[in-house]
Structure 1
Amino acid sequence: MIARLAGLPPAWLGLFALAGAALGWLLPLELPPALRDLGLLLVAAALALMLWAAFTMWRARTTVIPGRLPAALVTHGPFRFSRNPIYLADLILLAGLMLALSAPAGLVAVPALALVLKRRFILREETVIAAAYGAAFDRYRKRVRRWI
């Protein structure tokens, strides 16, 4: 069961959110209400980006499940700006949560999660996509950055 959870990016997001919140509790720093409100705005923006990306993939009839061979190379919608908009949304969501929870010390979890997502998921996914879509993926990779 743990191995299966480790293969799901939302499980990593949850783990890093808990770690960031714990760090914020251990190192309390009060934030102005405007920054906490910004955190809520970031959470909402991240959820909207996730939904937009998932809907774009659904319309292209391809999977959002990591590790599965995509049925299409999706380069439109949010994929015009980021090769990994859902992973980008994970990072925005985590940052927003840390601000909304008034746990700015937990913001150190954001780059740590980015590193885990890149090494555990993105590099493997890019290898699979490059093998499946060859030159089309190479052109896309040159045109669109990994994160933003």
Structure 2
Amino acid sequence: MRNLTLSKMIDIPPVWLLGMCSLAWFQSRHFDYGLSIDGAFTDLLSGLLIGAGLILMLLAVSEMRKQRTTVIPHLEAQKLVSTGIFKRSRNPIYLGDVLLLSGLILRWDAVLALPLIPVFFSILERRFIIPEENRLRVAFRMEFAKYCQRVRRWV
């Protein structure tokens, strides 16, 4: 991990995801206040969200490895990846993170943790997506502009 300070090495989406998941789990175990949305439908939905999130992340990491570019947000990309799952979303890993968090919140029946989803979404966008897109815009200029016209940020 060249050119990364310790603070940037720990300021990565998986650490934020782990933090949000920890808060949701803690809330579900210690502060449920009798609130519940548990049921067959939420069990199914949570499984689908968790599975979809993991699949998105695996497809994206696989495609980035195939293209020989970094998956670490603070490093400069060697190549603009617009193939595979990146034809559908400019940020499939972040989308997978949000789906995984949503699925775990439902799985743990952490009703009061539901607001963590838009908070996490906002953190990802402000701390990672916008700075990454700015670096890609500078590095790949016209190619990135065309990519942004073809592919949405999220879905």
Same fold by TM-score greater than 0.5: yes
- 1:107 maps to a residue whose letter is L
Partner of 1:32: 39
Instruction: State whether structure 2 residue 75 is matched by structure 1 residue 68.
Output: yes
Please state how far the C-alpha of 1:6 moved relative to its aligned partner: 4.0
Tell me if structure 2 keeps the 8 A contact 1:69–1:128. Answer: yes
Segments of 5+ residues of structure 1 without an aligned counterpart are none
The more displaced of 103-112 and 81-90 is 103-112
Alpha-carbon RMSD? 1.7
Tell me if structure 2 keeps the 8 A contact 1:29–1:105. Answer: no
Please state how far the C-alpha of 1:107 moved relative to its aligned partner: 1.8
SS of corresponding position for 1:62: coil
Segments of 5+ residues of structure 2 without an aligned counterpart are none
SS of corresponding position for 2:141: helix
Instruction: State whether structure 2 residue 29 is matched by structure 1 residue 22.
Output: no
Partner of 1:58: 65
SS of corresponding position for 1:147: coil
Tell me if structure 2 keeps the 8 A contact 1:36–1:102. Answer: no
Please state how far the C-alpha of 1:16 moved relative to its aligned partner: 1.0
Tell me if structure 2 keeps the 8 A contact 1:20–1:108. Answer: no
SS of corresponding position for 1:14: helix
Cα distance between partner residues in 2 of 1:101 and 1:33: 13
SS of corresponding position for 1:61: coil
Instruction: State whether structure 2 residue 98 is matched by structure 1 residue 95.
Output: no
Please state how far the C-alpha of 1:30 moved relative to its aligned partner: 4.2
SS of corresponding position for 1:82: coil
Calculate percent identity across the aligned residue pairs: 37
SS of corresponding position for 2:142: helix
Cα distance between partner residues in 2 of 1:5 and 1:44: 27
Tell me if structure 2 keeps the 8 A contact 1:52–1:78. Answer: yes
Instruction: State whether structure 2 residue 131 is matched by structure 1 residue 127.
Output: no
Partner of 1:81: 88
Instruction: State whether structure 2 residue 114 is matched by structure 1 residue 107.
Output: yes
The more displaced of 64-73 and 20-29 is 20-29
User: Which of the pair is proportionally richer in helix?
Assistant: 1
What is the TM-score of this pair, normalised by structure 1?
Answer: 0.91
SS of corresponding position for 1:83: coil
Structure 1 runs, 4 residues or longer, greater than 2 Å off: 1-6, 20-25
Tell me if structure 1 keeps the 8 A contact 2:57–2:93. Answer: yes
Please state how far the C-alpha of 1:3 moved relative to its aligned partner: 2.5
Please state how far the C-alpha of 1:20 moved relative to its aligned partner: 2.3
